[in-house]
Structure 1
Amino acid sequence: MGADLDAKALKARLAEQGVKFAVPSYVDMHGVPKGKIVPISHFEKMAKGSELYTGAALDGVPQDISDDEVGSVPDLASGFVLPWDPSIAWFASDLAIQGTPFEACSRNILNRVMASYAELGYQPQLGIEAEFYVLKDAPGGGYAPVSDRPHLDKAAYDAVRLLDNMGWMGELVDAMNALGWGVYSFDHEDGIGQFEVDFNYFDARTMADRYVFLRMMVHEIARRHGHFSSFMPKPFQDRAGSGAHYNMSLKSLETGANLFQAGDEDPRKLKLGTLGYHFIAGVLRHLPAICAVIAPTVNSYKRLTLEGSASGTTWAPVFVCYGDNNRTNSLRVPDGGGRVELRVPDSACNPYLGAAMVFAAGLEGIREKADPGEPHHENMYFKTPAQLAALNVRKLPSSLGSALDAFEADPLSRAVFGDAMFDSWLSYKLAEWSAFSSHVTDWEKGRYLKMF
């Protein structure tokens, strides 16, 4: 909507467009949008943080019910008019308390990491590959793909099933492009009823804002067509899970140049600059802890496996390693270079917290001029445990529980999150893991009830 507009001018512009309401939206620890809706007449007060919330009523907004409320302070440059309801404008917001940034706000956590880069003259750039399922409720319960054609073992890039979904998909892409996001491709993915939409990258904070908004927008547009969307990482046991791959680079605040672009010297021949290799080294060092944030659910680790897809591969990383365009590495440098892709994040991540952890780890690598070692060009899926040990390649955590252990043990986690969010987030997630671990599943009953 334009950073050059003050609240009064923006209010007038929105009213001329027929906007009647505005939402100063923030997220809880899950990355789920929250907020109040205010009439446009109240816009100028809203812009100053007038809307207050009791943090104790939300997950991961660590407050006691006796604490002063937090207020949502909208970023006026982030606003969108809702494509499915043009009477409402939405704004990404930071949380504040008594005029001071609230330390445990997800967006503020990313803001602090962005500020650390700015001190060096850098700006983190981020693109997120959005994968998700769109399904319909099945008669008698359960759910099914929108297309009623026979299932394929290898459904990736299937044009016919994509065309079957063009009702809602066409509306979604039109909406994204009308918002200026620059969609450049979309396709049917490896799962039945699974899709990916790829659009322009932005600075890390803007990209996180837009990913949160995208999940909400997909839900609303799918629902208008009688379907529902799912950003659950692995909704089908025998189908590929939904990732949210992070494509990362750094921009010079002085020149606008891509600082990950290779110069004259790149002995590893990945078309990546020296800063990019230092960044990779920092991320690899902390990747087990980062896993807990970018793969934040019990279900996430059903995706991060070698087996579990009818197509023969899960397409998901399982090792702490990097390489070229090879998709069996957790971090890869795609053809063309100049960026680094982290393939571990999934569709359920809080993008503010995920980006904060990854970029903070990368910044540590840059400051220390760390070396990531040699890249891996071979299929890492086929390596034996002995071969992996010889290469000094670790496995990623195989469960939320082990990822939380790594998160708790790594000093980076508390440094990035701050004490309040670290304690609140970890406590919630440990309780989630404990609840799952003690739950008796149908699989257990089927296998053991009459076995002995």
Structure 2
Amino acid sequence: MIEVKPDAEISAIQDDLKRRGVKYCMGTYVDIHGIPKGKVVPLSHLHHMAHGSELYTGYALDGLGQAPNDDEIASVPDLDQIIQLPWQPEVAWMPADNTLYGEPYMLNTRVLLKSVLKQAEAMGFGMNLGIEAEVFLLKKDENGKLVAPDPDDKLKKPCYDTRAFLSNFSWLDKMATSINELGWGLYSFDHEDANGQFEFDFNYADAVTTCDRFTFLKMMAKEYAKEEGLLATFMPKPFSNKTGNGAHFNMSLYDLETRENLFQCRPSDDPNGLGLTELGYQFIGGILKHGPALCAVFAPTVNSYKRLVRQGDMPYFTWAPVFNSYGSNNRTNSVRVPMGGGRCESRNADGAVNPYLACALVLAAGLEGVREAIDPGKPQETNLYELSEQEREELGIGFLPRTLDEAITAFDADPFVEQVLGKELKQEFIRYKRAEWNEYHTAVSQWEIEKYSHLF
């Protein structure tokens, strides 16, 4: 059963929300793509909502595994994670878990993540997660083409451009102020490596909380962009000649009793000098073992693989990982141990990620690495983009999938995926992603028309 708070506690929450001017409650879960879904109820209905009164036709949603004749699923809001909308304070947003007949519905990816965290808890571990949020702030020109709103934001290498920060101050200020007032601990934000692109970095938290915050942040960025007459997109690769939107996962395990970071050690105690414990290396070993399959959920769209290229239509390297490897502060690996150690970073996650689904699988992979004491080998410290194929093969470095089709094939072929997701959720993901690939593969693009229509 999904735990529901006592009525007295719900009443206290309701009274507090009323004092803060809240009129409506929005219980939100995500579909298989990570897209928020839910219903809005008057504050007076919170008691009913907290007990699963709001029902949903699962067949109307992607990836919930229901047919038209199936009973409705319910959602139960998490009243420990309430966020009052900064731009619409009459509304309180609440992440929710799906249930069926009062039991957790395992095709809900937030429910799935909680179940994998239970496995970690049985081993004495909790999981901390930080997600680096990269986003494009854009507008449409007179031809409907996406462009940076600031006409002077056109440097070839615009990363950390302070002038562009001031040009977009209104939107950035709204975002930064809200992140801080929500208590997330914003510690840095900057202009990223593409024109019109920004990144927000805030404190890590437990895995579920960070996934909730990332989901909310995407909605908030879009709403504040609308107020500026602009649009915000976390699309992995909106421009062929610019870097894309990553959503790097920074992960560590902690001791449930002491809260001690179990990946952290002094560099002098680490034979590789990275400041990572043996447990941390084993966790990375599990990630690399299942790297190709994990790519399908970290980079879940056709567009994702326009980002995961060495160079592409650009004069310099993209920073996106294409190799199933790890290293220290070497961004050509898919898994990085940042300076100072104590965590590992999966770099192939992008802005289209369903954070709950990806986190569930990568955590399960890491836990398998711990259980099986998998050695990831020596860290790769060279620029992997510049290796010859022979050098790469001699080092035993494999490529990650290079298309969504390859990623889904790897996802389908790895028995580990079904062990974690169950057969039904695994097949739901494959079904939708195969359909997405087929739709893309049979569509006729403008590039094809311009290249071939005058030739034949």
TM-score (structure 2 length as normaliser): 0.97
> Does residue 185 in structure 1 map to residue 179 in structure 2?
no
Q: Which residue of 1 aligns with 2:446?
A: 442
1:330 pairs, out of 310, 315, 334, with 334
Q: Which residue of 2 aligns with 1:95?
A: 98
How far 1:450 sits from its partner (Å)?
Answer: 3.4
Q: Which residue of 2 aligns with 1:348?
A: 352
Letter in 1 for 2:205: F
Letter in 2 for 1:199: F
1:266 pairs, out of 245, 263, 270, with 270
Provide the C-alpha distance between the structure 1 equivalents of 2:212 and 2:6, rounded to a whole number of angstroms. 15
Aligned-pair identity in percent equals 48
The correspondence of residues 12-411 of structure 1 with structure 2, limited to 5 A, is 12-149=15-152, 151-262=154-265, 265-308=269-312, 310=314, 312-411=316-415
CA deviation vs aligned residue, 1:42-99 (integer Å, no higher than 9, x gap): 0111111111100100111111121111111111111100001000101111100111
Letter in 1 for 2:174: E
Contact 2:204 2:210 in 1 (8 A): yes
How far 1:417 sits from its partner (Å)?
Answer: 1.6
Alpha-carbon spacing, 1:435–1:249, altered in 2? closer, same or farther (3 Å): same
Q: Equivalent residue of 2:198, what SS?
A: strand
Q: Equivalent residue of 1:78, what SS?
A: coil
Mean alpha-carbon deviation: is it higher for 249-258 or for 264-273?
Answer: 264-273
Q: Equivalent residue of 1:38, what SS?
A: strand
Q: Equivalent residue of 1:77, what SS?
A: coil
Alpha-carbon spacing, 1:137–1:442, altered in 2? closer, same or farther (3 Å): closer
How far 1:311 sits from its partner (Å)?
Answer: 5.4
Letter in 2 for 1:26: Y
How far 1:451 sits from its partner (Å)?
Answer: 3.0
Alpha-carbon spacing, 1:378–1:3, altered in 2? closer, same or farther (3 Å): farther
Provide the C-alpha distance between the structure 2 equivalents of 1:410 and 1:354, rounded to a whole number of angstroms. 15
Contact 2:310 2:317 in 1 (8 A): yes
How far 1:168 sits from its partner (Å)?
Answer: 0.7
Aligned residues: 451
Letter in 2 for 1:83: P
How far 1:380 sits from its partner (Å)?
Answer: 0.7
Q: Equivalent residue of 2:80, what SS?
A: helix
Alpha-carbon spacing, 1:4–1:175, altered in 2? closer, same or farther (3 Å): farther
Provide the C-alpha distance between the structure 1 equivalents of 2:250 and 2:144, rounded to a whole number of angstroms. 38
Q: Equivalent residue of 2:263, what SS?
A: coil
Q: Which residue of 2 aligns with 1:412?
A: 416
Runs (5+) with no aligned partner, structure 1: none
CA deviation vs aligned residue, 1:125-167 (integer Å, no higher than 9, x gap): 1000000101112123212112121511101000101111110
Provide the C-alpha distance between the structure 2 equivalents of 1:243 and 1:62, rounded to a whole number of angstroms. 29
Letter in 2 for 1:62: G
Provide the C-alpha distance between the structure 1 equivalents of 2:152 and 2:297, rounded to a whole number of angstroms. 37
Provide the C-alpha distance between the structure 1 equivalents of 2:230 and 2:44, rounded to a whole number of angstroms. 35
Letter in 1 for 2:251: M
Letter in 1 for 2:106: E
CA deviation vs aligned residue, 1:307-345 (integer Å, no higher than 9, x gap): 136451201111011011111111111111000011000
Letter in 2 for 1:260: F
How far 1:448 sits from its partner (Å)?
Answer: 2.6
Alpha-carbon spacing, 1:190–1:5, altered in 2? closer, same or farther (3 Å): farther
Letter in 2 for 1:395: F
Letter in 2 for 1:404: I
Mean alpha-carbon deviation: is it higher for 419-428 or for 403-412?
Answer: 419-428
Letter in 2 for 1:373: G
Contact 1:51 1:71 in 2 (8 A): yes
Letter in 2 for 1:238: N
Provide the C-alpha distance between the structure 2 equivalents of 1:369 and 1:5, rounded to a whole number of angstroms. 47
How far 1:189 sits from its partner (Å)?
Answer: 0.7
CA deviation vs aligned residue, 1:274-326 (integer Å, no higher than 9, x gap): 11000000000101000011100000000000113645120111101101111
Provide the C-alpha distance between the structure 2 equivalents of 1:280 and 1:349, rounded to a whole number of angstroms. 20
Q: Equivalent residue of 2:135, what SS?
A: strand
Provide the C-alpha distance between the structure 2 equivalents of 1:321 and 1:42, rounded to a whole number of angstroms. 51
Letter in 1 for 2:207: A
Alpha-carbon spacing, 1:349–1:4, altered in 2? closer, same or farther (3 Å): farther
Provide the C-alpha distance between the structure 1 equivalents of 2:44 and 2:429, rounded to a whole number of angstroms. 37
Contact 1:153 1:310 in 2 (8 A): no
Contact 1:239 1:311 in 2 (8 A): no
Q: Which residue of 2 aligns with 1:8?
A: 11
Contact 1:146 1:164 in 2 (8 A): no
Contact 1:3 1:77 in 2 (8 A): no
Provide the C-alpha distance between the structure 2 equivalents of 1:328 and 1:52, rounded to a whole number of angstroms. 46
Provide the C-alpha distance between the structure 2 equivalents of 1:219 and 1:309, rounded to a whole number of angstroms. 28
Letter in 2 for 1:228: L
Q: Equivalent residue of 2:251, what SS?
A: strand
Task: Give the alignment's Cα RMSD to 1 decimal.
Answer: 1.5
Q: Equivalent residue of 2:341, what SS?
A: coil
Provide the C-alpha distance between the structure 1 equivalents of 2:315 and 2:183, rounded to a whole number of angstroms. 35
